[in-house]
Amino acid sequence: MAVPEDKPMTFWDHLDALRDVILRVLAVAVVGFIVAFCFKEPLFKLILAPSSPDFILYRWISAVAGWAGFDASALRDFNVDMFSTTLTAQFMIHMKMAFYLSLVVIMPYTLYLLFGFVRPALYSNERRSTTRVVVWSYILFMVGIILDYLIIFPLAFRFLGTYQVSESIPNVITLESYTNLLITLTLLMGILFELPILAWFLHKLGIIDAAFMKKYRRHAIVVILIIAAIITPTTDIFTLTIVTLPIYLLYELSIHIVKR
């Protein structure tokens, strides 16, 4: 519904504009889902890649270990069998993963439409600030997803998939548990990487400042370590460090953002 720019919009005009935004988002989401669903083989090649001994992370570790004079072949010499327990499991998982992938892909367009909806109500300086917040929120979320896919999830799967309480009990992992762990860790890392945005927002509300964050830096490190220990099922210090370090760097970045 077109409304002249010099004419104030009524409540019903705003409602019509919001309806148009929702319909556009739904239409793009459906198209994205159909495309992702049709490309089943590339989709699950991407999803199942961390379960392969030839995954890029294991090759990196082997290369670094070889350069340092260590033998890391044991890290790549593993095999985890996966199976499906119910008749509809694989089809439903296919739909679920296609749906989640489409949400990630269409997120920039969704944010663009939502920003376009609220833009007329913002002042020029608010528009610039909101644009920066939206763009950086998406960038940080995607960085968290990529870090989880390349490092955290493969290490977690490698540990949990090969962990045995007894050699007489082999590990046979369901596809559902594999995808559920992937989605959970990916979502958690994406949310954790929104820490600078959260710090900026709390600062705008007058709740925290740079001095406060510096004063309680040691407490924050303890909290970060606890969170990292919770979201990483592995018990080795290497994985814990890989998860803790980027979150701590985000905390320091948050101090810098709040200070400015």
| pLDDT (tens digit per residue) in 130-160 | 888 888 889 999 999 999 999 888 888 888 8
Determine the pLDDT at residue 2: 42
Q: What is the mean pLDDT of the chain?
A: 84
Scanning the chain, the segments in alpha helix (DSSP H) are 11-38, 40-48, 56-68, 73-76, 89-118, 124-147, 153-162, 175-192, 195-204, 210-215, 217-231, 237-259
Q: Quick one: average pLDDT of 95-111?
A: 91
Determine the pLDDT at residue 1: 45
- Give dist(CA 78, CA 173) in Å, integer: 14
| pLDDT (tens digit per residue) in 16-43 | 888 888 899 999 999 999 999 999 999 9
Q: Quick one: average pLDDT of 54-65?
A: 82
Residue 142 in tokens: 């995607």
What is the greatest pairwise CA distance in the chain?
76
pLDDT at 164 over 80: no
